[in-house]
Amino acid sequence: MTTATTDNTGNYASFHIFFNLKGGVTDDSGSGCIYQHNKEAPPQTRWLPGHIIHGRHCTEMDTKHTATFNYIFVEYFNNDLEKFTDVTGFSKTQATSWYNGTVTPKKTTLTYILNCVFTPEFKVITEFAEFNPEEEIRPQLREILGDHVHDSGLYAFYDSMAMLIYLGKATNLLNESYDAILRSVHIPFPKGVRNKPDQRYELVRYISYYQVRKFDFFDYPRHVESLILRISKPALNKNIGTIEKAYQNLD
């Protein structure tokens, strides 16, 4: 909740901000932050030095760091204290003191938190899970993936000697790996080979899945896939991978 008052000249307003954190931590006592705000400044306003936070005189840098922390906490952790502590490793006491302005977070702390938000985490869902081409395909893939059917990430197909023959990236691992395993085999075989396989699933004996988080503007699964393809060059991949910047342009 935010309340505002103006002085006699109308040039400045005092904003008293009350914070409410999920996880049972609240501040309804009126001991939030009081900011002096220049109404004549542009919309991207500046908070002026000389603010009072819990009776403590603070600098402009203090309020900038506190405002930055609050933005990150609300925007990327949904005001969820449990989520914040789980992802960053900081305690609830630390998070609450930064949020309420009783302690000013350092620049290195803010940088670390942003790294926790945007650094991709790779998770092994399963490696070299057995696949039987004689059985129904989709139920096998669903069982292998378990609770990760809708995850983004990478999948890898291996032959009977556990050699990598295809690598793909997906925003939905179940649907896209299922489509990929049904595609035709495009590589030529020697003339003497009989019973040449027509579809990929006929060659696959093992499957691996990896969870790779995808952000709105960062296609990390594709970035990782491209690098691996350039190194390993699996036989059934038509493209060897193009190394491009992970950050997409904003049009």
CA nearest to 213, candidates 246, 188, 235, 189: 246
* pLDDT value at residue 239: 80
Give me the pLDDT at residue 43, please.
35
Q: Are residues 131 and 60 in the same domain?
A: no
Integer distance in angstroms from the first to the last C-alpha of the chain? 35
C-alpha to C-alpha distances, 82 to 89, 91, 163, nearest whole angstrom = 10, 9, 42
Find the mean pLDDT for residues 151-172. 95
Query: Does residue 45 carry a pLDDT above 50?
Result: no
| End position of a domain, from candidates 118, 150, 168 | 118
Does pLDDT of 85 surpass 80? yes
Are the CB atoms for 99 and 73 separated by under 8 Å?
yes
Q: Please say whether the beta carbons of 106 and 94 come within 8 A.
A: no
Identify whether 240 is part of a domain. no
Q: Is 111 within a domain?
A: yes
What pLDDT score does 134 carry? 96
Percent pLDDT > 90 in the chain is 48
> Can you give the pLDDT at residue 140?
98
Residue 83 to residue 74: CA distance in whole angstroms:
11
What is the pLDDT, as a whole number, of residue 192? 86
With bands split at pLDDT 50, 70 and 90, how would you rate the model's confidence at 37?
very low
Residue 65, phi then psi, degrees to nearest 5: -65, -40
Lowest mean pLDDT among 104-113, 114-123, 136-145, 227-236: 114-123
The residues facing 210 across adjacent strands are: 124, 154
pLDDT value at 48 more than 70: no
Predicted pLDDT of residue 39: 39
CATH number at residue 159: 3.40.1440
d(CA 16, CA 35): 7
65, part of any domain: yes
Q: Between 174 and 61, whose confidence is greater?
A: 174
Bigger pLDDT: 77 vs 49: 77
Structural domain total, the chain: 2
**Is position 249 within any domain?**
no
User: In 3D, which of 64, 87, 65, 78 has the Cα closest to residue 22?
Assistant: 78
Domain enclosing residue 48, as ranges? 2-118
Query: For position 245, what pLDDT does the model report?
Result: 61
Q: Is the pLDDT of residue 172 over 90?
A: yes
Residue 225 within a domain: yes
The segment with the largest mean pLDDT, out of 9-13, 120-124, 202-206, is: 202-206
Specify the DSSP element, H or E, that contains 67.
Answer: helix 60-77
pLDDT at 10: 39
Same domain, 127 and 87: no
pTM of the predicted protein model = 0.64
